[in-house]
Chains A and B, each alone.
Chain A
Amino acid sequence: MSDTSTSGLPRILAVVAAAGFRRHSTYRQATIAGAFTNTMFGFMRCYIMLSVVDVTGQAGGYDRAQLATFVWVGQGLLAVVNFWTPPELAERVRSGDVVADLLRPVDLMAMVLATDLGRAGYALITRFVVPVVVGMLAFDLFLPADPLTYAAFAVSVLLAVLISATCLHLVALTAFWLMDVRGVTMVWALLSGAASGLYFPLTLLPDWLATLLWVGTPFPSLMQAPLDVLVGRGSAALMVAGQVAWLAVVVALARVVQRRALNRLVIQGG
């Protein structure tokens, strides 16, 4: 604790992220099981999408290879961008353990985000790789020629991880007001699954609805944006800019909500 002053905040956060990474690396069997499941879903969704594309040669503006990439990389990203793991913080608020978190010399939200980045890093080298490799072996995937595209994809994935972690932090913060956050968690799961491009590319939706989702919600930033950046559909710069904007919005919102939540804790007790 005492070395807060000597080592800067970035170092502490790096240590926290490394701890998140290590912690998830101990769940080795669960990782294998998860990768298997993602792969099974990859096959299923890929065949479904290909059967659609094969009728006219394109679907929603993607050709065969692009759509295969969309599905398989999407299955890989599913574990990297946290969609479903319920936020641990909520449970800690309920049990009162959150008080211990508040005693730490680092901001709660910074800790949460750093931990999640560590988790995402581990998922990237395990659960991302497995379905993508299997997909590459079993199907013709679209591989962008421009190295810059990969760089843009990496940035976009990072932004997606941060946006998702921040949104989940918001979900967890509701625990300060609600006894039971399961309801809110389910709302999040419903929306983030349906509106992010996880179940189907958003371009298959009517234009007005797709546009509404892109402009009005952060969900497409979680999955559709990185995937579109990778397969080169639409303007990468525009999509990344959109993600940055959404990150700014959700972070600002989370700051406000967190401040209120902590005030509430201080005033009312745990």
Chain B
Amino acid sequence: MVEPYLRLLVAQVRGQTQYRASFVVELVFSTLMTALDVVTVFVIFSVNDRLGGFGGTEVLMIVGIAAFGFPAADLVVGNVERLRVYVRTGLLDAVLVRPLSALGQLVAMDFSVRRAGRVVQGTALYVVALVVAPVVWSPGAVVLVVLAPLSATVFFGAIFVVGATVAFWWIESGEIANAFTYGGRDFTSYPMTVFSGLFRRVFAYGLGFAFVAYLPALALLGRSDPIGAPDWLRWCSPLVALFAAGVAALFWRTGIRHYRSTGS
């Protein structure tokens, strides 16, 4: 089943590594870029040595989950961003006449190895967080330790897909997806307590970004949500991620029927 996709992927990675010097530079710098996001959180943290009522290791826990989930999703499906180009130029035609899933092909055809460095870095950060943060261990926590970063990955993957799908309706959608992908990454790296108002209600709970890192981190740390979400909700990230994936699949299916190709 996956073999054809793997072949596509290998063919495309081979093409990529032809430009070796540029490849290494990009691998290094895209890793540094991600490090910078983490540094930003801690520069802001350093002002008061607390952030939204949370201490350093607690913030690290939140950052750790987000710093794994986003790059992992980016590695796997981040390149659906390129859908915009395929739709505008009509290149998607060639994808659609092959006997494989269109999404699968897009992912395999633009797979970018240089994003792998960030996943390694995110994993390291998450492991450090687990070691230094005051995790309240329980069987549930052990399961969540594994599921939380995976759910974050699935959730961000869904965001990537939904964001890219916008191009089916709105070709010149430009950066709008960035508000939710890169915006979502920044948003989920902070405790939700730093935000407030309608903005927090919409992004954190309405769109579900609180479930990416904040709520599972609270569960692992044995803290209740100061904002008032019921305790059981902290364990629901996997369900939310699955739901998001379902929504993304729906968007994708509807979107691809709206594909209009190009003239000629």
Contacts and interface: CB of A to CB of B under 8 A. Distances in A.
B195 A199 contact: no
Given A43-B199, A44-B183, A48-B190, A60 B32 contact: no
B179 A37 contact: yes
Given A44-B195, A47-B196, A52 B44 contact: yes
B225 interface: no
A51 B193 CA distance: 8
Interface of A: 27, 29-31, 33-34, 36-37, 40-41, 43-44, 47-49, 51-52, 55-56, 59-60, 179-180, 182-183, 186-187, 189-190, 193-194, 199-200, 204-205
Given A187-B29, A199-B40, A52 B175 contact: no
Given A190-B32, A199-B36, A41 B179 contact: yes
Interface string B31-42: 011001001100
Contact of A47 (B43, B183, B200): B200
8 contacts: A44-B183, A51-B193, A55-B50, A180-B22, A183-B21, A186-B30, A194-B39, A199-B36
Contact of B48 (A55, A189, A190): A55
B259 to A, nearest CB: 18
A257 B99 CA distance: 51
Contacts of B30: 186
A68 to B, nearest CB: 13
Interface string B145-174: 000000000000000000000000010111
A60 B29 contact: no
B174 A190 contact: no
A57 B9 CA distance: 53
Interface residues of B, number: 41
A170 to B, nearest CB: 17
Given A36-B179, A183-B25, A199-B40, A52 B172 contact: no
Interface string B218-243: 00000000000000000000000000
Contacts of A190: 29, 32-33, 36
Contact of B22 (A49, A179, A193): A179
Interface in B20-65: 21-22, 25-26, 29-30, 32-33, 36, 39-40, 43-44, 46-48, 50-52
Given A37-B178, A51-B52, A30 B26 contact: no
Contact of B175 (A33, A56, A183, A194): A33
A52 B52 CA distance: 8
Nearest to B191: A51
Interface string B191-203: 0011111011001
A59 B195 CA distance: 17
A211 to B, nearest CB: 16
Given A44-B186, A48-B190, A183-B22, A34 B33 contact: no
Given A33-B176, A37-B178, A182-B22, 17 more contacts: A27-B172, A30-B175, A37-B176, A44-B186, A44-B187, A47-B200, A48-B194, A51-B195, A52-B194, A179-B19, A183-B21, A183-B26, A186-B30, A187-B29, A189-B33, A199-B40, A200-B40
Nearest to B39: A194
Nearest to A200: B43
B33 to A, nearest CB: 6
Given A40-B183, A186-B29, A204-B46, A34 B174 contact: yes
Contacts of A183: 21-22, 25-26, 29
A29 B30 CA distance: 29
Contacts of B39: 194
Nearest to B33: A190
A205 B44 CA distance: 9
Contact of A33 (B36, B46, B173): B173
Contacts of A41: 179, 183, 186
Contact of B36 (A48, A55, A194, A205): A194
Nearest to A30: B174
A182 B195 CA distance: 35
